[in-house]
A = this chain, B = another copy of it.
């Protein structure tokens, strides 16, 4: 496979997901990083904002209009929502687009307006997009021009919930998800609330009752359930850099048991190398997947009858963002899906 060379551009290279893409793609045997776009730092070497890239052979940061897209195979877009759709609408049509923003995740433009507060500005491109949850939409990811990578929280929830709802193992009512995230999820903009001194030794819930990520989760759950699903979701930040742990509280469908849940998930993911299903009472921790593209889940019966709890973990920057983005690139270009992606976490 090493003969295939993809030319890649990273748009939005100054944020954490951009930097993580640089790290992963630099080690990818089939990728040449052709341009790094970061408008506000254009003209500087990337090491000026990320010194860990010192003495690494990488192109300097440039403005988007400076990119020569001739020969570019794939563009990763790590921009804020709203900005992302504008940029993508103007990319050359031969370029495969892997978008890490929320802009192309919601199929219904009304949903986009409701949750993101403005009209969608790239409806045409929306039709070329697929929701990029790799294990679920593999075929369409390959075919569609734009891959809208899922949010970090949604990835941790949907991987266990979709197979269970699709197979009618659980009820679509009463789904409650309580998630804890590392603080990289808040990005690199300087805000008082995200200072070390504010978050060290602290836990903070936010977006209670209405975080935007629930929109794409409800969209996907409704699709597989065949009816409108509304779910409860509480995100929290805890004092760590990477990782999401979601506790998913579910109600079994009538006549279903905890073993049905275990068997369904084990069977569904048995050939997936980036999903590990623990059915033996082990509850995975975020460090089990730190730096890895794997998702892990553990399954537990509740003491309340007919209820179960799934503990689902990912690294928000890898499987929850840049890793899944590269996985989607691999799928798109017929590379082995694991190329350039770590399975073993960096523990401790």
Residue-wise interface mask of A (172-210) relative to B, using a CB-CB cutoff of 8 A (1 in contact, 0 not): 001010101011101011111011111111111110111
A342 part of interface (Cβ distance < 8 Å): yes
Q: Is A236 an interface residue (CB 8 A)?
A: yes
Q: Are B201 and A200 in contact (CB under 8 A)?
A: yes
Partner pick for A198 among B201, B203, B243, B348, CB 8 A cutoff: B348
User: What residues of chain B lie closer than 8 Å to A236, measured between beta carbons?
Assistant: 180, 245, 247
**Chain B residue at smallest Cβ distance from A53:** B344
- Asked if residues B309 and A209 are in contact (CB atoms below 8 Å), the reply is yes
Q: What 0/1 pattern do residues 142 to 165 of A give for CB contact below 8 A with B?
A: 000000000000000000000000
Binary contact readout A287-321 vs B (1 if CB under 8 angstroms, 0 otherwise) = 11111100010101111110101010100000000
User: Does A16 have its Cβ within 8 Å of any Cβ on chain B?
Assistant: yes
Tell me how many chains of this kind the complex includes.
4
Given contacts A288-B54, A303-B214, A346-B346, contact A182 B201 (CB under 8 A): yes
CB distance from A50 to the nearest CB of B (A): 7
Inter-subunit contact A196/B276 (CB<8 Å): no
The answer to whether B302 touches A232 (Cβ under 8 A) is yes
Find A197's partner among B16, B210, B285, B288 (CB 8 Å cutoff).
B16
A123 to B87, CA, bound (A): 57
B197 x A184 contact (CB < 8 A) = yes
CB<8 Å pairs between A and B, sample of 20: A23-B344, A27-B342, A53-B344, A54-B282, A56-B343, A178-B249, A189-B192, A194-B196, A196-B198, A196-B199, A196-B239, A197-B241, A201-B240, A205-B247, A209-B303, A209-B309, A210-B303, A230-B304, A236-B245, A291-B346
